[in-house]
């Protein structure tokens, strides 16, 4: 990792490196910081039962002006890497803007991690909690050997722009439960983590640069992981890169604010949607509706010189409907907190399949 950072010659990379090494944020930010590790685990342990609406946490203060600029620079660079590697996402964003105007807001950003030796959820979460994000609920995916936490942003009142300059997105971070894999797969993951040094402490920086914190893998190791866990194989070659960004369709202003019409708009423009469990993924209460494209693929040259196609990322769409107690509000009165919050295991389980071989082959 040190060699990679030392070799970052571009002005943008150098700027992010300087920002990452900047002095700690003012005390006001520390006041809204979640306790590290233990606090995140406690928040997960207190999650409500499935189907229950979780209570909202106490509102966090908005970001201070200086830290706001820094934070937005970081997530903007994450988005730049994501859009550079994923032409489908870039094109769909452009199509939506041409049809609906400049009204795109992001619902959430999602990341994947290895849940072992400090390389899991906490390696990224601590950056967001340091900037006012609040740990909310834990989700479990036993068949995929995954767990996830999501984080709500600090107050969004001052973010009136769109896209990366709009309301701060929720953050969804998942981790692979490495200890539940076969010994062979565990050994492969541990082998690369050992080459990372303390790379887990620089997960956010790695995401903004689009770099792996561990040694580039060999193709045979990628193949072994792919056979047992496509999530593991994806993470091995993509690292902390943004796995997907999600458009909040209900924040649009034209007819495609309805997710069903949005899906038709995407398909009519020639893009395939993830069909696992149906195109539209709907929560049991009917209030969270999601869909996603199939991941883009790109050629990747492995450490042993073999070049093969690997899955990159995808773009998701989400419509959050009004909670029952607010169904009579007029359109001009509706705010985001009047809508269904959080995530749903059943929906997310199918969205994960956007990077699966079955979906990529279907394309």
pLDDT digits (tens, 9 = 90+) for 115-154: 999 999 999 999 999 999 999 999 999 999 999 999 999 8
**Residue 148 CA: distances (Å) to CA of 155, 202, 205, 348:** 23, 20, 21, 10
**pTM across the whole model:** 0.84
Sequence-distant (6+) residues with CB within 8 A of 208 are 16, 20, 74, 77, 78, 81
Mean pLDDT (whole number) for 269-278? 97
- The predicted pLDDT at position 155 comes to 75
Mean pLDDT (whole number) for 250-265? 97
Residue 6, token pair as written in the block: 């030392």
Mean pLDDT (whole number) for 19-31? 36
Q: Looking at residue 322, what DSSP letter applies?
A: B
Tens of pLDDT, residue by residue over 296-337, are 999 999 999 999 999 999 999 999 999 999 999 998 899 999
Banded pLDDT at 12 (limits 50, 70, 90): very low
- pLDDT(157) > 90: no
Mean pLDDT (whole number) for 8-24? 39
Banded pLDDT at 60 (limits 50, 70, 90): low
Is residue 221 within 8 Å of residue 310, measured between CB atoms? no
């Amino acid at each position: 990792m040190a060699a990679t950072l030392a070799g970052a010659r571009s002005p943008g990379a150098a700027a992010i490196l300087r920002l990452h090494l900047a002095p700690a944020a003012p005390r006001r930010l520390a006041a809204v910081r979640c306790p590290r590790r233990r606090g995140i685990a406690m928040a997960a342990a207190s999650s409500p039962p499935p189907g229950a609406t979780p209570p909202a946490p106490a509102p966090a203060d908005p970001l201070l002006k200086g830290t706001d600029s820094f934070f937005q620079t970081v997530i903007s660079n994450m988005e730049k890497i994501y859009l550079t590697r994923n032409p489908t996402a870039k094109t769909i964003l452009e199509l939506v803007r041409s049809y609906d105007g400049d009204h795109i807001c992001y619902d959430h950003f999602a990341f994947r991690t290895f849940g072992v030796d400090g390389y899991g959820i906490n390696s990224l979460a601590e950056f967001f909690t340091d900037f006012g994000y609040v740990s909310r609920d834990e989700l479990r995916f036993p068949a995929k050997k995954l767990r996830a936490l999501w984080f709500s942003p600090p107050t969004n009142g001052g973010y009136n722009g769109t896209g990366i300059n709009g309301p701060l997105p929720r953050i969804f971070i998942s981790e692979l439960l490495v200890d539940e894999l076969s010994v062979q797969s565990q050994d492969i993951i541990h082998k690369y983590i050992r080459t990372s040094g303390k790379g887990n402490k620089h997960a956010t920086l790695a995401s903004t640069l689009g770099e792996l914190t561990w040694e580039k893998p060999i193709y045979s190791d990628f193949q072994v992981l792919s056979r047992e866990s496509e999530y593991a194989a994806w993470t091995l070659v993509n690292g902390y890169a943004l796995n997907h960004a999600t458009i909040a369709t209900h924040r649009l202003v034209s007819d495609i604010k309805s997710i069903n019409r949005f899906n038709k708009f995407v398909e009519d423009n020639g893009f395939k949607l993830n069909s696992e469990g149906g195109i539209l993924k709907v929560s049991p209460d009917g209030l969270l509706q999601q869909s996603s494209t199939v991941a883009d693929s790109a050629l990747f040259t492995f450490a042993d010189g073999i070049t093969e196609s690997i899955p990159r990322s995808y773009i998701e769409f989400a419509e959050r409907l009004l909670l029952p107690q607010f169904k009579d509000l007029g359109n001009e009165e509706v705010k985001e907190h009047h809508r269904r919050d959080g995530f749903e295991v059943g929906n997310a389980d199918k969205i994960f399949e956007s990077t699966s071989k079955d979906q990529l082959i279907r394309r």
